[in-house]
């Protein structure tokens, strides 16, 4: 695969602002492990190889187990995820796919049963960000692994 264009070079101010937004999410009430699961699942749904590669490596660096990483795609059938993570993954899928007629009340109630309003709000911003990153990287065919050194992802040991 060949990258179509380098959006960071073409739109440096917008890239910088969006990076600042994304970095601000690291201090949200949603912990890094849950953020990684959400970013992985949205990237799987959107077919974003660059983001999937990046977030799997980040999750591994932050101590996520390989088996859980393999199971993100089948989280409904897996017994490796706690109810809080399941609710977050359901919310991620609903917001990523945006079903006709909106988000079903059942999904929102499941999330409300596991996360505070602040957590739901912060989680929604995490989902918004990863979906935006997925769209820019899919659109411009960003090659997976090309930012490993810049982001310290070579430390994941998954090359």
Residue 135, token pair as written in the block: 């769209």
Please state, in angstroms and rounded to a whole number, the distance separating the CA atoms of residues 37 and 56.
8
Please state, in angstroms and rounded to a whole number, the distance separating the CA atoms of residues 140 and 2.
9
Residue 37 lies in a domain: yes
Over the chain (159 residues), the average pLDDT of each successive run of 10 is: 95 98 96 96 98 96 96 98 98 97 96 98 98 98 94 86
Residue 155 lies in a domain: no
The answer to whether the beta carbons of residues 40 and 69 sit under 8 Å apart is yes
Residue 154 lies in a domain: no
The answer to whether the beta carbons of residues 22 and 117 sit under 8 Å apart is no
Please state, in angstroms and rounded to a whole number, the distance separating the CA atoms of residues 118 and 133.
23
Please state, in angstroms and rounded to a whole number, the distance separating the CA atoms of residues 145 and 143.
6
What is the number of alpha carbons within 13 Å of residue 29 lying toward its C-beta?
Answer: 10
Exposure class string for 75-87: b at 16+ Cβ within 10 A, else e? beeeeebeeebbb
Residue 139 lies in a domain: yes
Please state, in angstroms and rounded to a whole number, the distance separating the CA atoms of residues 103 and 93.
10
The pLDDT score that the predictor gives to residue 158 is: 82
Residue 157 lies in a domain: no
The pLDDT score that the predictor gives to residue 159 is: 67
Residue 121 lies in a domain: yes
Residue 14 lies in a domain: no
CATH code, domain carrying 107: 1.20.1290.10
pTM of the model: 0.95
The pLDDT score that the predictor gives to residue 1 is: 86
Q: How many domains does the chain have?
A: 1
Residue 158 lies in a domain: no
Domain encompassing residue 113: 30-146
The pLDDT score that the predictor gives to residue 31 is: 94
**Terminal C-alpha separation, the chain:** 18
CB atoms within 10 A of CB 41: 23
């Amino acid at each position: 695969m060949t990258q179509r264009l380098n959006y960071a070079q073409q739109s440096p101010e917008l890239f910088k602002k969006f990076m600042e937004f994304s970095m601000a999410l690291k201090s949200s009430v949603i912990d890094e492990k849950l953020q990684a699961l959400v970013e992985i699942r949205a990237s799987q749904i959107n077919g974003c190889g660059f983001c999937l590669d990046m977030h799997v490596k980040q999750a591994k660096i932050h101590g996520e187990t390989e088996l859980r990483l393999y199971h993100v795609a089948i989280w409904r059938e897996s017994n490796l995820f706690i109810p809080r993570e399941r609710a977050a993954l359901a919310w991620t899928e609903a917001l990523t796919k945006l079903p006709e007629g909106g988000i079903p009340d059942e999904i929102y109630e499941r999330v409300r049963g596991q996360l505070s309003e602040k957590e739901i709000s912060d989680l929604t911003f995490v989902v918004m960000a990863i979906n935006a990153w997925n769209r820019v990287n899919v659109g411009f065919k960003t090659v997976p692994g090309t930012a490993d050194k810049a982001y310290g992802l070579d430390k994941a040991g998954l090359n």
